């Protein structure tokens, strides 16, 4: 394994070439197979591990261009300012003006969050409230949660009133699909 100074330079060069790497690339660059040694050298640089792919990807803190939610996706690999998936989901729920639904969270982080949400609720880091026919994940702080619930109810009421009409092409596609399904197999549909 290289000296401390040589290792840092080698890692910086690696991350300039490839913004996201796996552990094998660290081993190869540092000329070691020791996980502990690789992380000791990596710790000398400010790094992040991915919240997706079981945290097996790494990048330097200065590389990601985080969005307003604190997320950065490199291809399908997700990184967060909050680090882990659990911390990221907790933060997104807490900072959401109208809380967050399961579907909204999955759309944001682009991974399955069911177990993470359950764990966060059980650990009392977030709360879960039934609203309409879904669960809304809200702050554990009662006052903040009340504000989030009110905002969500207002959001739901406004979207119900402003439902967009279907476009003519969508109506035609639906009708064609219905007609085709009603025809016995082998019988051509008349149009």
Q: Alpha-carbon distance 121 to 167, whole Å?
A: 41
Name 152's Cβ contacts closer than 8 Å, sequence gap at least 6: 98, 99, 131, 136
pLDDT in tens, 29-71: 999 999 999 999 999 999 999 999 999 999 999 999 999 999 9
Residues facing residue 72 across a β-bridge:
79
pLDDT band at 101 (very low <50, low <70, confident <90, very high): very high
Global pTM?
0.78
pLDDT band at 177 (very low <50, low <70, confident <90, very high): confident
């Amino acid at each position: 394994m290289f000296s401390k100074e040589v290792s840092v330079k080698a890692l910086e060069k690696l991350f300039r070439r490839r913004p996201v790497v796996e552990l094998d690339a660290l081993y190869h660059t540092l000329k070691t197979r020791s996980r502990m040694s690789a992380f000791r050298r990596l710790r000398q640089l400010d790094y992040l591990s991915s919240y997706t792919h079981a945290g097996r990807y790494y990048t330097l803190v200065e590389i990601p261009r985080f969005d307003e939610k604190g997320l950065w996706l490199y291809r399908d690999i997700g990184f967060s300012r909050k680090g882990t998936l659990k911390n990221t989901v907790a933060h997104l729920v807490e900072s959401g003006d109208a809380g967050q639904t399961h579907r909204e969270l999955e759309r944001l982080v682009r991974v399955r969050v069911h177990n993470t949400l359950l764990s966060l609720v059980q650990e009392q880091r977030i709360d879960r409230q039934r609203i309409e026919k879904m669960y809304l994940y809200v702050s554990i702080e009662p006052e903040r949660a009340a504000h989030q619930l009110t905002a969500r109810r207002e959001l739901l009421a406004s979207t119900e009133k402003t439902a967009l009409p279907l476009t003519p092409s969508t109506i035609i596609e639906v009708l064609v699909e219905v007609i085709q399904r009603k025809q016995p197999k082998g019988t051509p549909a008349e149009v």
